[in-house]
Structures are given as C-alpha cells and as structure tokens.
Chains A and B, each alone.
Chain A
Amino acid sequence: MDDEFESVYQVLGKDFPNAGKVSTSIKDTLKRLGVQSAVVRRVAIVSYEAEMNLVMYAVRGTVTLTVSPDAVTLNIADEGPGIPDVSLAMQEGYSTATPEMREMGFGAGMGLPNIKRNADEFDIQSEVGKGTHLFVRVRQAA
C-alpha cells in the first residue's frame, strides 16, 4: 500500500436502524487494504463510537477515512448541537443521553473516553449550535 487512500461516508442523525453501518464498511475496507488487524479493530471501535454519537446527537455528518502507509486517520465532522463543555464530556461516566440511547446499550458517558483510549493522536473541536469535529489517528507499525 504505497498510495494514500481516502473515502468519505455520510451519516444521518437519528438514523438508528443504520447506525454502525459506516463503521462496518470502514472495517471491511481496512481489512481489504491489508491493514494489521489490531489497528483495524482500534479504528473500527473509534469509528463506531463516533458514528453512534453522531446518530444520537447530530443532524448529519461525515466520516472521512484516510489510510497512509504509516497511519489510519478518521475525521468526523457533524452539524449538530455541539458540546458546551468538552472537558466534562471527556470524563468517563458523564452523559447527556436519553433513555432511548441507553436502551440501545450506549449513552453511559463512555464514548469519547473510549475513542481517546484507542487513538494515538486525538483532537476535538466543538462549537455550540454548529457542530463537532473529531480527529483521530491510529499509527501503523512500520
């Protein structure tokens, strides 16, 4: 894999039946590209938590997957309510989830901490009333 690979996926807010589909296809793509399975798993977990957040909270958004020989990068950008206090949202257990979100097995305030735990590089920018942008990079062993 010498060239950089990029793919953009659309995610719709409140589209619960399809929530997780994008992450499944990202996973398939990474496997097809021959990315090491431990890296595939970390990226898939990051993507899935971010996709669930997007479906649960945002209006719409995109997940951009970039694969280069040394790293896999995800940029997740949404149009949505934004996060008023990012440092609070990064705390394990802090949650603003509704009962419906919890019934699906999410919304326990674990998503963002899980994303960060699986990332080698992590950045989050959020503006209330506009949306949130997540940047995650997982490095590939040489």
Chain B
Amino acid sequence: MTSLKSITLEEVRKLLNAEVLSGEDLSIKVEVVGAADLLSDVLATSKPGTLLLTGLVSTQVIRTAVVADLCGVVFVRGKKPGDEILALARESGIPVLATQLKMFESAGRLYKAISES
C-alpha cells in the first residue's frame, strides 16, 4: 500500500455537520472508517487508526478506542454521550464527534470523501 488516501478529522466534522465534543487536534488523518454497534466486532476487525462510527453510547466505546488504537469516535443518529464518557475521552486523548446523521448516510459521505481524496 502506497499513498494512502485520507481526509482529516476537520473534514469529517464538516462532511457530517458534526459537533466536536472532545479533541483539539482535528488535523489527524483518517484513512479507515468502521461502522459498528458491537464492540467485539470493532476489537476483532478494526485496523489501528480506524475512525469508529457508532450509535452505541457507553464508556466502553472509549475504552475500546483506546485498546484498539482508534483515531476517534463519531456518535451517529444524534446520540449524545454523557459527561462521564466525555471526561474519559478527554483524559484518554480520544477525539469525539457527534452527528445527527444516521449510520448509513455518515458512512456513505466518508467513504465517498476518502475514495475521492
């Protein structure tokens, strides 16, 4: 694999009209996006650096991101993580975004953007 295609988290934010709930550096490059509500699937199949789209709201999402070296988490379908989850994300250095868009629409927009980048 040479010259990986990628977009930045800032571009992700714009594409998904997302709100940034954790994370200051949005220049991080995103090469792989995964969509899942089952954390065991994320642990089994994700590559390091994956951006996770999920509708599952739990502190375990952040711990999974830490354990599996994910580059960030986007909560879809207007889900809002609570303060405890966001505090853990900030402490762990995991960027967190939230979008009103559904999983399919979010994944579609990011797939298009990355494949055309």
Which secondary structure dominates where chain B touches chain A? helix
Interface residues on A, range: 20 to 34
Which secondary structure dominates where chain A touches chain B? helix
Q: Tell me how many residue pairs across A and B have CB atoms closer than 8 Å.
A: 70
A105 at the interface (CB under 8 A from B): yes
Q: A45-B43, A103-B58 are in contact. Are A108 and B48 (CB under 8 A)?
A: no
Question: Beyond A24-B63, A105-B60, A106-B38: 13 further Cβ-contacts under 8 Å?
Answer: A17-B59, A20-B59, A20-B60, A20-B63, A20-B67, A21-B63, A41-B69, A44-B68, A45-B67, A105-B40, A106-B60, A110-B41, A111-B40
Q: Could you write out 24 A-B pairs with CB less than 8 Å apart?
A: A17-B59, A19-B63, A20-B63, A20-B66, A20-B67, A23-B67, A24-B63, A24-B66, A45-B67, A47-B67, A48-B43, A48-B64, A52-B60, A104-B56, A105-B40, A105-B58, A105-B60, A106-B38, A106-B39, A106-B60, A108-B41, A110-B44, A114-B40, A114-B43
